[in-house]
Amino acid sequence: MSKQNDDDSDGVTINRRGLLKCMAWAGTGVVWTLAGGIPRPFNLMDTAAAASGFSFVQISDSHIGFDKPANPNVTGTLQEAIAKVNALPMRPAFMIHTGDITHLAKPEQFDNADQIIRGANLPVHYVPGEHDVLDDDGKGYLERYGKGTTGLGWYSFDEAGVHFIGLINVMNFKAGGLGNLGQEQIAWLEKDVKGLSASTPIVIFAHMPLWTIYPEWGWGTGDAAQALSYVKRFGSVTVLNGHIHQIVQKVEGNITFQTARSTAYPQPEAGKAKAPGPLTVPADQLKQMLGLRAVNYEEGTHPLSISDTMLANS
């Protein structure tokens, strides 16, 4: 159901020269602007506009505690990601972490993650990944991050006119199923957005993709369609997920879906390996597959511009 954007006469269309420039830039990161719902790349340094808007950062899948060959130093790469956040030309208002903060939900792993992420000196809004709620139904996670949340930890907040919604889709799995939001959360979401004007930009973030990317590997959320039916009326909806440790995008109507890179280790592309586990790549390639994301929003303009940056230096 991806909608093609025909409105290419608005002066934002990328030309051949711009495209080449963008490809050159791709050594350090690619910026996506969402014009008319279709993400289009441009150079972060060219966008003077980005310096005046509101921005936030998404980090994901830090897997603190992981020590296998795919990346024996996940604390080091998280530290590098935080250093990149601190080096951004524009100071973000806050960070979101889209889950799998830890690898095994151990208290010391949460502690280590906290200590490193605190280095950005920014407020952080979390949602858990399945690794953060392993053995205790999320109790340990909620004790740390659940203040002011509802149900299993979902919540919403407003910043600079944008309505942010953090959803939990990593609990109460059924055998053979996908990620799960559950009726209680979906009912909450329906109420949460009910009074909002359709012109309010919506950003939804959750760990597992809120659209089905590859069910054979569980990459999707079984009841996401019902949840998203309540935000279809909004002019701009951006869905930010993690879980699959790589960037995958999709546009459906006014809803743009984006998964993010991990700060810890890459995973194979859908179906291109026996299993979706940690992917070991040559050491010099690892940091090209890890990264973080900056999202800029300027009041009065619908599109949010999204900038994915690799940990690798140019």
* Of residues 274, 263, 237, the one with CA closest to residue 252: 237
Q: Which of 16, 17, 174, 272 binds other proteins (CB under 8 A)?
A: 174
Work out whether 148 is an interface residue with other proteins (CB under 8 A): no
Work out whether 218 is an interface residue with other proteins (CB under 8 A): yes
Work out whether 173 is an interface residue with other proteins (CB under 8 A): yes
Question: From start to end of 148-248, where are the E strands?
Answer: 155-159, 162-166, 202-205, 237-241
CB-based contacts of 46, cutoff 8 Å, min separation 6:
21
Work out whether 48 is an interface residue with other proteins (CB under 8 A): no
* Of residues 162, 62, 157, the one with CA closest to residue 113: 62
Q: Which of 17, 147, 272, 274 binds other proteins (CB under 8 A)?
A: 274
Work out whether 130 is an interface residue with other proteins (CB under 8 A): yes
Residue 244 in tokens: 């699959």
Work out whether 215 is an interface residue with other proteins (CB under 8 A): yes
Work out whether 270 is an interface residue with other proteins (CB under 8 A): no
* Of residues 77, 126, 73, 83, the one with CA closest to residue 101: 126
Work out whether 131 is an interface residue with other proteins (CB under 8 A): yes
Rounded distance, CA 198 to CA 188, Å?
A: 18
Interaction pattern, residues 7-46, with other proteins; x per rule: CB under 8 A:
----------------------------------------
Q: Which of 78, 105, 122, 289 binds other proteins (CB under 8 A)?
A: 105
CB 29 within 8 A of CB 44: yes
Contacts with other proteins by CB under 8 A lie at 68-70, 103-105, 130-131, 134-135, 173-178, 215-218, 274-278
